[in-house]
Structure 1
Amino acid sequence: MKLDAIDRKILGVLRGNGRIPNNELAAAVGLSASACLRRVRLLEQAGVILGYTAVVAEPEVAGALTAIVRITLEKQTEDYLNRFEAAVRRHPEIVECFLMTGDEDYILRTVADSPAAYEVIHKEILSRLPGVVRINSSLAIRSVLAT
């Protein structure tokens, strides 16, 4: 799907407030309500808008601890990548996963209630993911920006 200037405006407004009523979104981007709703639906159907979510202040929720984890795999074959990614999807403690270029193969973001809970994630989940040869974790002190 090729995005035009109005599509980009719609996406920009939705990034700031995914719960904005359609009539307010339409006014913000200069469209009628029906034309705006049609464009939003097309963006959703084309997979440009993947979904809507709430950004939660995780440290304020149950004392959550965020760890950024860099993973190196034994091999970077399609089979290794597919098996690793399938395994990652089965663990809700892993909230984000990115296939990377550079020194690490993947960067993950995990959330735990405490350092002890992260230790369990490290020992029982991360170290048992298929093909993993190196795990390097950094604990976040605080979030500076989340959009």
Structure 2
Amino acid sequence: MKLDAIDRRILAALQADGRLTNNDLAERVGLSPSPCLRRVRALEAAGTIKGYAAILDPVQLGLGTSVFVRVWLRGQDDDTVRRFNDSILALPQVMECHMMAGDCDFLLRVVASDLDAYRRFQAEKLARIDGVQSLKTDIPLQRVKLTGSLPL
């Protein structure tokens, strides 16, 4: 789907506030409500808009610790990677999982209530995944930037 300037304004407005009513969105982007709604539905149908979600405060939910985990597997064959991926998908504490080129095989972002809870999660879950050779945890000292908004 080729995006024009109005589509990009719609996307920027929805990134900033996904709860905008269609009328408010139409006003912000300079359209009448019907064409605005048609464009939003087209963006959803094309998969450009994947969904809508609330942004939650992890601290208020008791998940104020976030760590990055580098994972090395025993092998990179399809079965080992698939088993690892399937295991990670079942762990809600893993917020992000990226297969990497370079030193490690995967990079994870994991949330926990505190470092003790993370240590237990690492020992009881991550280290027990079939095919995991080693894990290295990096603990951030300060979050400088976190955004879910793409540059449009």
Scaled to the shorter chain, the TM-score interval is 0.7 to 0.9
Q: Which residue of 1 aligns with 2:150?
A: none
Q: Which residue of 2 aligns with 1:14?
A: 14
Q: Which residue of 2 aligns with 1:84?
A: 84
The one-letter code matched in structure 2 to 1:82 is R
Partners in 1 of 2:53 and 2:104 — Cα distance?
28
Structure 1 residues 129, 108: CA separation in 2 closer, same or farther (over 3 Å shift)? same
Partners in 2 of 1:2 and 1:81 — Cα distance?
34
- Which stretch shifts more, 40-49 or 86-95? 40-49
Q: Which residue of 1 aligns with 2:107?
A: 107
Find the residue that maps to 2:136 and give its secondary structure: strand
Structure 1 ranges of 4+ moved more than 6 A: none
Partners of 2:65 and 2:112 within 8 A in 1: yes
Displacement of 1:137: 1.0
Structure 1 residues 63, 47: CA separation in 2 closer, same or farther (over 3 Å shift)? closer
Identity %: 43
Structure 1 residues 27, 101: CA separation in 2 closer, same or farther (over 3 Å shift)? farther
Partners in 2 of 1:70 and 1:35 — Cα distance?
47
Structure 1 residues 138, 26: CA separation in 2 closer, same or farther (over 3 Å shift)? same
- 1:1-147 → structure 2 map (5 Å cutoff): 1-62=1-62, 64-147=64-147
Displacement of 1:92: 0.9
Partners in 2 of 1:4 and 1:80 — Cα distance?
43
Find the residue that maps to 2:59 and give its secondary structure: helix
Structure 1 unaligned spans of 5+: none
Partners in 1 of 2:78 and 2:3 — Cα distance?
31
RMSD (CA atoms): 1.9
Partners in 1 of 2:120 and 2:129 — Cα distance?
14
Q: TM-score, normalised by structure 2?
A: 0.84
Structure 1 residues 41, 4: CA separation in 2 closer, same or farther (over 3 Å shift)? same
Find the residue that maps to 2:107 and give its secondary structure: strand
Partners in 2 of 1:113 and 1:6 — Cα distance?
42
Partners of 1:94 and 1:110 within 8 A in 2: yes
Partners in 1 of 2:85 and 2:15 — Cα distance?
27
Structure 1 residues 118, 93: CA separation in 2 closer, same or farther (over 3 Å shift)? same
Aligned length, in residue pairs:
147
